[in-house]
Chains A and B, each alone.
Chain A
Amino acid sequence: MGFLDISNVTKSYGNVEVLHHVDIAVQEGEFLVLVGPSGCGKSTLLNMIAGLEDITDGDISIKGRVMNGVHPSKRNIAMVFQSYALYPNMTVGQNMTFGLEMHGVEKSKRDKALADVAKLLQIEPLLDRKPGQLSGGQRQRVAMGRALVREPDVFLFDEPLSNLDAKLRVDMRTEIKKLHEKLKTTIVYVTHDQIEAMTLSTRIAVMNGGYVQQLGTPKEIYDTPTNLFVATFMGSPAMNILPTKVAMIDGQPHAEIIDGSGQAVSLPFSQTNMADWVGKEILLGIRPEALTDPEGADRKSTNIATLQNTVDVIEPAGADTFVTTTLGGVNVIARMRADTEIATGQKFDFAVNMDKAVVFDPITKNRIKP
């Protein structure tokens, strides 16, 4: 039993079911991120927690109290919206204390709460301004401040950073993380940005098509995705997925891949249960950072295989150099050190960290667990 319990929750619009039996238990102080592509149901789920949408079936409870049918203002939650939703006719100070005023908190206490939060967020000089006079980042702060003064049980964030420019987004991300670590509040955060999900969360729920595909810590999600969708959605550049055949060589199962020149290369599996799949097709998942130049390969890895292949495209990105090559008939991206000496068209030795490789069943699209 968690602090915020989402149990068997379903949402339908007419006959169309958009959320299917969602089960998530959020512990106190946890930072849960709901991530997924547009239309996966993450915002709907958040709105249901907030009480802005009805729950078709199942229960949502906060601190053991079932919230179905309870008015949003009586759930002791606060929400930060994508557009910030600051009341344009009120000053920053009035915006932030509006909720307290509506809940009948007396003036002296409101002013105290406002002063505390304004200090925490360093927005004291802005309190008398109108939202129209603020920059994007300042509005974002005020929107968070409005949520903070309420001291709610659960904070709900609906894509709060997606209206900011790239640099500010990174700054605010750090800010939110700092705030969470300081205040230890329970947060449910919706985003479509997998980097935000990875960096902010203590746990991630990856959603697609109205289902929670996987619920786990960022590391679990990244290293051991349950299926092909999670594997390719999380991580940038995306995980390379190579159609591969399993072959037994010297008593050990190998992944047999056709390289750029049409030759078969074989890579020994680290995963121990691949003997059952000998002779069958699988999908081999290799993250770009597990496919690199030999000097850049992970020293701690027990199983580095090398293969020679032709370099198709080189993309220097400053910190890294991304190299595109063809393996198994698909484009594959390798992440190399910035100053790797490499040229287009060159035959290059790629190091593959097979410890990090994941294997998927091509029919069910689920991961073949070790």
Chain B
Amino acid sequence: MSTATQDSAVSSGKITRTFIYLVLLMSALFYLLPFFVMLVNSLKPLAEITGGNMMALPQTWTIEPWLKAWSTAQIGVEATGLKPYFLNSILMVVPAVVISTGIGALNGYVLTKWRFRGDTLLFGLLLFSCFIPFQIVLIPMATILGKIGLAGSIPGLVLVHVVYGVGFTTLYYRNYYAAFPTELVHAAMIDGAGFFRIFWRIMLPVSGPITVVSVIWQFTNVWNDFLFGASFGGQTQPMTVALNNLVQSSTGVKEYNVHFAGAILAALPTLLVYIVAGRYFVRGLMAGSVKG
């Protein structure tokens, strides 16, 4: 009797398992398909796309669309390709990520280890910034950027993204440091380390996982942002805005292969960040949230 039940349990387990894997496989295909289409068509001559099947592999392989998208495609009125805008994006993303992560770490440190009257209220207000829609702040932000002379510049964009990012980074670091034993801070105080020394020598060296989370989060958000880039970018527009200009241009032939190549170029940095640091991301996200 008992063996019979076990048999049926095993076989039903097999069916469930097959079903689960099937669903997973289909989900994976579903998400990979658009990428496949983009990649395949970015490596074809334009004639093959207009005259043939979107799903088919290229008959003549070419990297011409990639080169064109990168350096000679018409963006707006100039034929510069995406290259200068890619540089703009890098110049915006790197300082924005570094500064917002740094401030977030410092905030988290103060809010957990140097508590003061009203610290929870302050944290609540910081969290509030995570929930304010971008559109609401466009006009006040434009006014402020104009007044401090940063309108239409990369430092202006960096400022906007830092202000928007600090809420999230503070949340991450505060939750992470809440689980960090306060006795260690006390020990360091007795050892004679001051406020910044404790932060630099004791807290930061063990903040790896949460720093990865913060960096990935900030990098993807800042890189992918379109609204702020289009509104405040001026002459120094980021990659996302340039890609839009490339794809939406209404004159001439629609060069789909160039568009596909450009879109992949625009997505590449975030993809790379995920591939390099992705597994730490999940780990860090859990560490921060569960013990908070």
Contact = CB atoms under 8 A, between A and B. Distances in A.
Contact of B187 (A51, A71, A79, A89): A79
Interface in B16-50: none
A102 B192 contact: yes
B190 A50 contact: yes
A83 B181 contact: yes
Interface residues of B, number: 16
A235 interface: no
Contacts of A72: 186, 189-190
Nearest to A150: B191
B197 interface: yes
B8 to A, nearest CB: 46
Contact of A89 (B186, B189, B190, B205): B205
B188 interface: yes
Interface string A61-97: 0000000000111000111011101011100000000
A87 B202 contact: yes
A52 interface: yes
Given A87-B188, A89-B206, A102 B193 contact: yes
Contact of A99 (B186, B191, B206): B191
B183 interface: yes
A184 interface: no
Contacts of A3: none
A82 B202 CA distance: 18
Nearest to B197: A102
B181 to A, nearest CB: 6
A73 B183 contact: no
Given A88-B206, A89-B206, A102-B197, A83 B189 contact: no
Contacts of A87: 184, 187-188, 201-202
A280 B57 CA distance: 106
Given A87-B202, A102-B197, A81 B183 contact: yes
A245 B202 CA distance: 63
Contacts of B181: 83, 85
A103 B190 CA distance: 10
A85 B190 CA distance: 12
Contacts of B206: 88-89
Given A83-B183, A85-B186, A87-B184, A98 B205 contact: no
Contacts of A88: 206
Given A87-B202, A88-B206, A89-B205, A82 B190 contact: no
Interface string A32-46: 000000000000000
Interface string B169-207: 000000000000101101111111100010001100110
Contacts of A82: 183
Contacts of A85: 181, 183-184, 186-187
B189 A52 contact: yes
Given A87-B202, A89-B205, A98 B188 contact: yes
27 contacts: A50-B186, A52-B186, A52-B189, A52-B190, A72-B190, A73-B190, A73-B191, A73-B192, A73-B193, A79-B186, A81-B186, A82-B183, A83-B181, A83-B183, A85-B181, A85-B183, A85-B184, A87-B187, A87-B202, A89-B202, A89-B205, A98-B188, A98-B191, A98-B193, A98-B201, A102-B193, A146-B187
Given A50-B190, A87-B187, 5 more contacts: A83-B181, A85-B183, A85-B186, A99-B190, A102-B193
**10 tightest Cβ-Cβ pairs between the two chains A and B:** A73-B192, A102-B192, A99-B191, A89-B205, A85-B187, A85-B183, A81-B183, A72-B190, A72-B189, A85-B184
